[in-house]
C-alpha cells in the first residue's frame, strides 16, 4: 500500500499496473479499498487503482464537513499524481455517486463509468431523516445501527450467506469512525448529482441488485434514464455487490471496459 498527500489530506491507495485503461475502484460508505479484495483477483491483468476515500480506512480523517467536491478533488488529484490518462471509473453505493461526479469532472479522460447502486441524492422530505441519522451515529456509535438496520436490510437471509464477504464487510464497517459516517450522511443530504449526470460524456453502466431495499432497481433505473445511452442492469444481488457477488461485479467491469 502507498500514501500520497493530495488536496490537503493524506490518502492511502493501492496501484496495480497492468493492461488496459486503468480501473479506478471507489468503495461504499464505511468501506475501504479492501472492500474490493474479493473482486481484484477476478480482474485478470487489468490495471487497477483502489483508494481509501477521505475519512475512511487509513486515509486522513479531517474534522468538520466533507463535501462531494472534496472527494472529487482527492480522486482527480490522485489520478494526476500517478500520471494516469484515461480511466474507467467504478464505485459502489456512495462510491458510485462519487464516481459519477469524478467522471463529469474528467470529461474526455473518463472512458467509462460503471456504478453499482449509486447514491445520487435524496428527496427533500428525507433530508431531515439523514441529518438525524448522522446525529445518532455520533451519539451512539455504529454497532447498534449496523446490527439493527443495515445488516437485516442489506444482507437478507437466506439468500446471502454470512461468508468471507460478510466478515470483511462487518469488520470494515465496525472499524470506521462514526464521525466520518455522520459527515457522509450530511454530505448526502445536500448532494444533487443531476448536473453531473447531465454532463457525462462516457459510456455508462448502472447496476442494481434485485434484493436491494436501500437503492431499489426502480430507483437506479430512474437515474440511468437521465444519461443518454446509458446501460441499466439488474442482477441477483443486494446493496453491497462487490462483497456479496464479486464474480458478477468483476464480469460486469471487464465487459464494460
Q: What is the pLDDT of residue 162?
A: 79
C-alpha cell recorded at residue 79: 489520478
Q: What is the pLDDT of residue 163?
A: 85
Residue 27 is classified by DSSP as P
Give how far the C-alpha of residue 3 lies from the chain's centroid of Cα atoms, to the nearest Å: 20
Strands 203-209 and 110-116: parallel
DSSP string, 31-83: --GGGGTTTGGGGTTEEEEEEPPTTSTTS---SS---HHHHHHHHHHHHHHTT
Query: Cell 461526479 identifies what position?
Result: 101
pLDDT in tens, 216-248: 999 999 999 999 999 999 999 999 999 999 999
CA–CA distances in Å: residue 4 to residues 52, 70, 87, 118: 11, 15, 19, 26
Q: What is the pTM of this model?
A: 0.96
Torsion angles phi and psi, residue 89, rounded to 5: -90, 140
Domain 2-256 architecture: 3-Layer(aba) Sandwich (3.40)
pLDDT in tens, 79-123: 999 999 999 999 999 999 999 999 999 999 999 999 999 999 888
Task: Give the domain ranges of the chain.
Answer: 2-256
Reference 81, options 6, 161, 158; nearest CA is: 6
Amino acid at each position: 500500500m502507498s500514501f500520497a498527500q493530495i488536496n490537503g489530506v493524506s490518502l492511502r491507495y493501492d496501484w496495480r499496473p497492468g493492461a488496459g485503461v486503468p480501473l479506478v475502484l471507489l468503495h461504499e460508505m464505511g468501506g475501504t479499498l479492501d472492500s474490493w479484495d474479493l473482486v481484484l483477483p477476478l480482474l485478470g491483468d487489468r490495471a487497477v487503482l483502489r483508494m481509501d476515500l477521505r475519512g475512511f480506512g487509513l486515509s486522513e480523517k479531517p474534522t468538520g464537513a466533507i463535501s462531494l467536491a472534496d472527494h472529487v478533488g482527492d480522486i482527480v488529484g490522485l489520478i494526476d499524481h500517478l500520471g494516469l490518462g484515461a480511466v474507467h471509473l467504478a464505485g459502489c453505493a456512495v462510491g458510485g455517486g462519487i464516481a459519477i461526479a469524478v467522471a463529469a469532472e474528467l470529461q474526455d479522460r473518463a472512458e467509462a463509468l460503471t456504478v453499482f447502486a449509486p447514491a445520487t441524492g435524496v428527496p427533500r422530505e428525507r433530508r431531515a431523516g439523514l441529518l438525524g441519522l448522522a446525529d445518532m451515529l455520533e451519539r451512539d456509535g455504529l454497532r447498534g445501527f449496523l446490527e439493527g438496520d443495515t445488516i437485516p436490510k442489506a444482507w437478507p437471509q437466506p439468500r446471502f450467506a454470512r461468508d468471507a464477504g460478510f466478515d470483511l464487510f462487518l469488520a470494515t464497517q465496525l472499524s470506521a469512525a462514526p464521525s466520518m459516517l455522520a459527515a457522509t450522511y450530511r454530505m448526502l443530504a445536500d448532494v444533487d448529482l443531476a448536473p453531473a449526470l447531465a454532463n457525462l460524456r462516457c459510456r455508462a453502466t448502472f447496476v442494481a441488485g434485485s434484493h436491494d431495499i436501500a437503492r431499489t432497481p426502480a430507483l437506479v433505473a430512474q437515474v440511468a434514464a437521465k444519461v443518454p445511452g446509458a446501460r441499466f442492469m439488474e442482477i441477483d444481488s443486494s446493496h453491497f455487490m462487490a462483497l456479496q457477488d464479486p464474480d458478477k461485479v468483476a464480469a460486469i467491469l471487464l465487459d464494460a471496459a
